[in-house]
Amino acid sequence: SQQGEEDPQALSIQEGENATMNCSYKTSINNLQWYRQNSGRGLVHLILIRSNEREKHSGRLRVTLDTSKKSSSLLITASRAADTASYFCATAYNTNAGKSTFGDGTTLTVKP
Amino acid sequence: ETGVTQTPRHLVMGMTNKKSLKCEQHLGHNAMYWYKQSAKKPLELMFVYNFKEQTENNSVPSRFSPECPNSSHLFLHLHTLQPEDSALYLCASSQGSSGGGHGELFFGEGSRLTVL
């Protein structure tokens, strides 16, 4: 299975601190995506990184991809209470990002 | 507001009922998806529609019946469900590219289904 596995399963930090979540996968991928889900809501796309890219930024988010280690990390800098959510990585083995396989997610709690 | 609207947001049904979930996307995308999110399990892809044609059925039981009348609307018809089918059902859409790939998913808020 190419399913991504997030680590840690749960993370609790203080507002202003950085949060780092990791994703590992088993097979070669075309792209990897990160999504955020607030409790009881739908998922929101954050960043898509392709297999030939090593790092992408979007605002306070930084995603890295190491295809040799089959792993990715999501860094949220200067976290806010509003960042409290579950974060999922999704891996696509072809160019259809919509057919990605999702991991179990990391639950992030940011305390004010 | 993601541009993908799901109704109803909550549904409670008995095992002998027939109900339908509806999804509408206002993004002009050409692919739509049904995902199932159960407690303690990863998000599971159920069905994929590309330009109204079903391109994937991930071994979903026949008690779930999808329908895609056009690129903007997607339904999931439910009948004789089991309590273990209780979950959050998420609809998503994506836009295909000229190279044949598809970009990221845009999700609706989900329909929380409880089967008694």
* A53 min Cα distance to partner chain B (Å): 16
* A41 min Cα distance to partner chain B (Å): 5
In this model, does residue A7 exceed pLDDT 50? yes
Beta bridge partners of A11: A108
* B79 min Cα distance to partner chain A (Å): 24
From chain B, the residues in CB contact with A35 under 8 A are: 105, 107
More confident residue, B59 or B102: B59
Residue with tokens 């072809």: A94
Q: Quick one: pLDDT at residue B2?
A: 75
β-pairing, A10-14 vs A106-111, is: parallel
| Interior/surface letters A84-98, b for 16+ CB within 10 angstroms, e for the rest | bbbbbbbbbbebbbb
From chain B, the residues in CB contact with A97 under 8 A are: 94, 101-105
In this model, does residue A2 exceed pLDDT 60? no
A103: nearest CB among B31, B42, B99: B42
Contact residues for A2 (Cβ-Cβ < 8 A; gap 6+): A25, A26, A27, A29, A91, A93, A101
Measured distance between the N- and C-terminal CA atoms of chain B, rounded to whole angstroms? 31
From chain A, the residues in CB contact with B108 under 8 A are: 42
Mutate to test the interface with B, among A58, A96, A100 (most CBs of B within 10 A): A96
Tokens of B50: 């590309």
More confident residue, A79 or A97: A79
Please, which pLDDT band fits residue A13 given cuts at 50, 70 and 90? very high
Tokens of A65: 């991809």
Is B102's CB within 8 Å of A43's CB? no
Name the DSSP class of A64. E
Q: Quick one: pLDDT at residue B1?
A: 67
More confident residue, B42 or B75: B75
In this model, does residue B42 exceed pLDDT 90? no
B102: nearest CB among A95, A103, A104: A95
B56: nearest CB among A48, A99, A104: A99
Strands (E), chain B: 4-7, 10-13, 18-25, 31-37, 44-50, 53-57, 64-70, 73-79, 87-94, 106-107, 111-115
Q: Quick one: pLDDT at residue A96?
A: 72
Q: What mean pLDDT is reported for chain B?
A: 90
Q: Quick one: pLDDT at residue A72?
A: 97
More confident residue, B7 or B50: B7
Is A98's CB within 8 Å of B102's CB? yes
Q: Which of A51, A50, A71, A72 is nearest to A62 (CA)?
A: A72
In this model, does residue A1 exceed pLDDT 50? no
Cα torsion through A85, A103, A77, A30, rounded to 10:
-140
Please, which pLDDT band fits residue A61 given cuts at 50, 70 and 90? very high
Lowest-pLDDT range, A22-26, A100-104, B68-72, B98-102? Answer: B98-102
Distance CA B49, CA B102 (A): 12
Strands (E), chain A: 5-7, 10-14, 19-24, 31-37, 43-50, 55-58, 61-66, 71-76, 85-92, 101-102, 106-111
In this model, does residue B59 exceed pLDDT 90? no
Is B42's CB within 8 Å of A102's CB? yes
Q: Quick one: pLDDT at residue B56?
A: 79
Please, which pLDDT band fits residue B40 given cuts at 50, 70 and 90? confident
In this model, does residue A57 exceed pLDDT 80? yes
Q: Quick one: pLDDT at residue B97?
A: 61
* B88 min Cα distance to partner chain A (Å): 8
In this model, does residue A77 exceed pLDDT 90? yes
